[in-house]
Chains A and B, each alone.
Chain A
């Protein structure tokens, strides 16, 4: 199954009731999967919206009405959705937003890239907010993290971004779905469907009192602190005795893993840290690793974005190197191998 369709199937099995999309390469298989499979499910809605902006606002409406709702796009389209994501964050409405990212800036290329890291992990739209960002690196993880995304969104009443890329979306891989679609679609208890049996409710973001808005921001901040504490996740691969640790996420981590296996077969003590949640970033783990390991190689398919989080986490400890390929160029494991072995040679690591 290709990665895009995997997300679609996993979303349906997570009880997604509404999918609202707009065509953009390289994520169209997901929209088409939902058109084929979600639209026929009882009580479910598929809409090909007139724009990404309309699509995210339909998600906002469906989430208001208490449904598990989702949209997907790729980089330029995700920029358009930022207005809606900011409103979702402000209104504390859960939603799942998939970005199968491509090269940028501008219309860019349709090839895989990781150049939306900043946008995804810094909120993305206007205002002081965060979204949970999940970075899958395989077909299986696309399925697992899509399910987790819906759960996290509901648990913390927050928009969750799945940051994939063109390659993950197109790749065909065997996938095991761990969940069956629910018999009944989940409906949040505070669904806005009329004031029957309770006082009328208001979902709003605008206030003329700065102190009121400040309190909203504090409340969001406290939740973000809780998410940091409870939901940070990562994969640590062969780090125990590592003298050099590669830090990479998503498809870049998959590429790096090949290079690390090669390095190990050559006797080089190289490991990898792969953040699975990009926000919250596993800063504590990075700091912990720096107690034993001095050298870090950050590898990204951009000009260096996650490296800033690594620098913040290391607080000047250790030594950080960077290898990046922007624009949608796909680096090979042998290219990364070369970088790793050269670095090991320069630093005298055996």
Chain B
């Protein structure tokens, strides 16, 4: 019998603790698969954030160093500038990358740091109990917008990927989702392309991944995946937002 599917080498033999339907475990696996396939495990360092994925090091079998909330891009910069041979990626949520860490993120992108950010957008603060995130949709109910997000008071869902695309140092930005097998495959391809941009020394790359938080959304896993496809993608359309890698097709 031929083995067609197994645990990537870059993942430890630990069962995921994430909630049913949460996108983290899928995204972890995709990153691990890409690290394996691109043969990066020996030279990769991951920077996970505070939040549910603060335990990412419990699953990834690669070098990992925690960062303070929002400072991942600055930490990654320090590592990358010290040893440019190291492949560095940050793993960040929406509160992290799009609120407290906006300055660090924008400036790392603008400097064209050769780092890759995996930006998990689930429209809420997950670990703290489902508060409003900068990416929370208009009208969306959260524990701090119990009557729905009122854009006249709380602002609009922020579009980090589109904003970052304006930075000259950012070379590859794509928004994907882990809401269906097809989208999961596209996500993996995007992660691969983002890492390739870093390996080629081209500049900053980011993959924004729309991901479900069924627990805080008060939905079943199936409902939450449908909500990503039907509602979230209206505000955050999927696709390549910027590709200045120059190569006609890195794949």
The segment from A45-53, A103-111, A152-160 found at the interface with B is A45-53
Q: Are B71 and A195 in contact (CB under 8 A)?
A: no
Which range holds the interface residue count of chain A? 35 or more
Q: How large is the interface on B (under 10, 10 to 19, 20 to 34, 35 or more residues)?
A: 35 or more
The reply to whether the CB of A205 lies closer than 8 angstroms to some CB of chain B is yes
> Which of B45, B54, B77, B80 is within 8 Å of A194, CB to CB?
B45
Q: Is the CB of B79 within 8 A of A64?
A: yes
A42 at the interface (CB under 8 A from B): no
Q: Is the CB of B74 within 8 A of A83?
A: no
Q: Which of A24-32, A65-73, A227-235, A301-309 lies on the face that meets chain B? A: A65-73
Report the separation of the CA atoms of residues A55 and B73 in the bound assembly, to the nearest whole angstrom: 11
Find the A residue at minimum CB distance from B115. Answer: A61
By a CB distance below 8 angstroms, the chain B residues around A49 are 74, 107
B62 on interface, CB distance cutoff 8 Å: yes
Q: Is the CB of B68 within 8 A of A61?
A: no
Q: Is the CB of B41 within 8 A of A65?
A: no
Q: Are B65 and A202 in contact (CB under 8 A)?
A: yes
A64 touches B78 (CB 8 A): yes
Q: CB-defined interface of B58-86 with A at 8 Å, one 1/0 digit per residue?
A: 00111111111001001111111111011
Q: Is A60 an interface residue (CB 8 A)?
A: yes
**B78's contact among A62, A191, A193, A203, by CB below 8 Å, is which?**
A62
Which B residues, 73 to 111, have Cβ-Cβ distances below 8 Å to chain A?
A: 74-83, 85-87, 103-104, 106-107, 111
- Which of A18, A20, A61 is the most central at the interface, judged by chain B CB atoms within 10 Å of its CB? A61
- The complex places the Cα of A205 from the Cα of B86 at a distance, in Å, of 22
- Interface status of A59 (Cβ within 8 A of chain B): yes
A83 near B68: Cβ-Cβ < 8 Å: yes
Supposing A51-B103, A194-B63 touch, asked if A20 and B45 sit within 8 A by C-beta, the answer is: no
A203 touches B64 (CB 8 A): yes
Does B44 interact with chain A (Cβ within 8 Å)? Answer: yes
The answer to whether A54 touches B42, judged by C-beta atoms less than 8 angstroms apart, is no
- Give the distance to chain A from B81, nearest Cβ to Cβ, in Å: 4
Assembly CA distance A91 to B12 (angstroms): 22
What residues of chain B lie closer than 8 Å to A20, measured between beta carbons?
Answer: 78
Contact A84 B71 (CB under 8 A): yes
From 13 to 67 in chain B, residues with beta carbon under 8 angstroms from any chain A beta carbon are 40-45, 50, 54, 57, 60-67
Q: Report whether B60 and A61 are in contact in the complex, using a CB–CB cutoff of 8 Å.
A: no
Find out whether the CB atom of A45 lies under 8 angstroms from the CB atom of B81.
yes
CB-CB < 8 A to A195: which residues of B?
Answer: 41-42, 44, 61-63
In the complex, A165 Cα to B45 Cα: how many Å?
38
Inter-subunit contact A205/B82 (CB<8 Å)? no
Interface membership of A99, Cβ < 8 A: no
- In the bound complex, how far is the Cα of B44 from the Cα of A197, in angstroms? 13
* Residues of chain A with a CB closer than 8 A to B74's CB: 49, 53-55, 57-58, 60-61
Does the CB pair B65–A200 fall under 8 Å? no
User: Which B residues lie within 8 Å of A60 (CB)?
Assistant: 67, 71, 74-75, 78
B79 contact set on A, CB distance < 8 A: 61-62, 64-65, 192-193
Q: Distance (Å) between the CB of B222 and the closest chain A CB? A: 30
Q: Which B residues lie at the A interface, using CB under 8 A?
A: 40-45, 50, 54, 57, 60-68, 71, 74-83, 85-87, 103-104, 106-107, 111
Task: For the A-B complex with A50-B107, A58-B75 known, give 9 more contacts whose Cβ atoms are closer than 8 Å.
Answer: A18-B78, A47-B77, A53-B104, A59-B78, A61-B76, A65-B79, A87-B67, A196-B43, A200-B63
